[in-house]
Amino acid sequence: MQLDIHRPVVDLMRDVARDIVMPRYRNLASHEVSAKAAADDLVTIADKESELRLAEGLTAILPEAGIIGEEACAADPAILDRAGDGLNWIIDPIDGTGNFAAGHPPFGIMIALVDGGATLAGWILDPLTGRLCYAMLGGGSHIDGEQVQARESGGDLPIAALAVYFMTPEERADIQQRSQDRFALVDIPRCAAEQYPRLVLGQNDVSVFARTLPWDHAAGTLFLNEAGGCCQRLDGTPYVVGDTRRGLLGASSPRLWDRAAEILFR
């Protein structure tokens, strides 16, 4: 089934990027950007239109699957309660909306197909460059049609991008103290659609995420794990859609995952 749906999903994502996302990039009126629950959690008209088109197209590709979209869940949080039940499409219509609304990269479109909480397939499209990352469960990870293996950066210290902005002040202070002189810290892209490829491509070695909503992480965790990296809950258990716990640790190799977990959370 996954192989049959891959090309239609990719075509749909590229069409949405071309027709909806990119025409709005650096072309948003003030009334086309608004805040959701938090003042720094933005939504734009492009997010809403992208999700509607993606939901319509994905339903046509696989009618038996439900739809779990970020913006639909923002309007009705009860939708998220069924994310781990049965077969569902998970949609992030524009990941990195803050960047998109500010008129700078990175941002992306993320789609995952999950069944009972297990991610079967995931796609991550960069509308600016056209780069497509995708993975099928048991089928490896690919970038623009070429199979890829995650690789470490090879630096003296592992390069870490730590998303601490959803942590408490106490948690942030603890992470920063534990990280000192153990990692080379770099800025986060504020975009999971960019962070996961960086872990595979040897640009970053370690990432920590506090908030683990499925549209941000279902596709990315599969992509990283199928590439031979490691992305798990902080206790070493797999990421499962529908699990509402906080905290996720990703690394470019299982060895670095173990090292990072020992430094940061043990």
Helix (H) or strand (E) holding 182: none
Of all residues in the chain, what percent carry a pLDDT higher than 90? Answer: 90
Q: What pLDDT does 2 receive?
A: 47
Q: Which domains does the chain have, with CATH numbers?
A: 2-148 (3.30.540.10), 159-265 (3.40.190.80)
**Distinct helix (H) and strand (E) counts, the chain:** 9, 14
pLDDT in tens, 199-246: 999 999 999 999 999 999 999 999 999 999 999 999 999 999 999 999
Burial of residue 79 (number of CB atoms within 10 Å: 0-12, 13-18, 19+):
middle
Query: At 163, is the pLDDT very low, low, confident or very high (cuts 50, 70, 90)?
Result: confident
Asked whether residue 160 carries a pLDDT value surpassing 60, the answer given is yes
Q: What pLDDT does 1 receive?
A: 47
Asked whether residue 45 carries a pLDDT value surpassing 80, the answer given is yes
Q: Flag whether the pTM goes above 0.75.
A: yes
Q: What pLDDT does 38 receive?
A: 59
DSSP H helices, 77-160, are 97-102
Query: At 73, is the pLDDT very low, low, confident or very high (cuts 50, 70, 90)?
Result: very high
Asked whether residue 47 carries a pLDDT value surpassing 70, the answer given is yes
Tokens 């999700």 correspond to what residue?
51
257, 249 Cβ separation under 8 angstroms:
yes
Q: What pLDDT does 37 receive?
A: 64
pLDDT in tens, 6-35: 999 999 999 999 999 999 999 999 999 998
Query: Quick one: average pLDDT of 184-192?
Result: 95
Q: What pLDDT does 40 receive?
A: 65
Q: What pLDDT does 266 receive?
A: 84
Asked whether residue 146 carries a pLDDT value surpassing 50, the answer given is yes
Helix (H) or strand (E) holding 194: helix 192-200
Asked whether residue 36 carries a pLDDT value surpassing 90, the answer given is no
pLDDT in tens, 194-206: 999 999 999 999 9
Residues 6+ apart with CB under 8 A from 39: none
Q: What pLDDT does 230 receive?
A: 98
Average pLDDT, the chain: 95
96, 106 Cβ separation under 8 angstroms:
yes
Query: At 172, is the pLDDT very low, low, confident or very high (cuts 50, 70, 90)?
Result: confident
Q: What pLDDT does 229 receive?
A: 98
Asked whether residue 165 carries a pLDDT value surpassing 90, the answer given is no
Q: What pLDDT does 150 receive?
A: 98
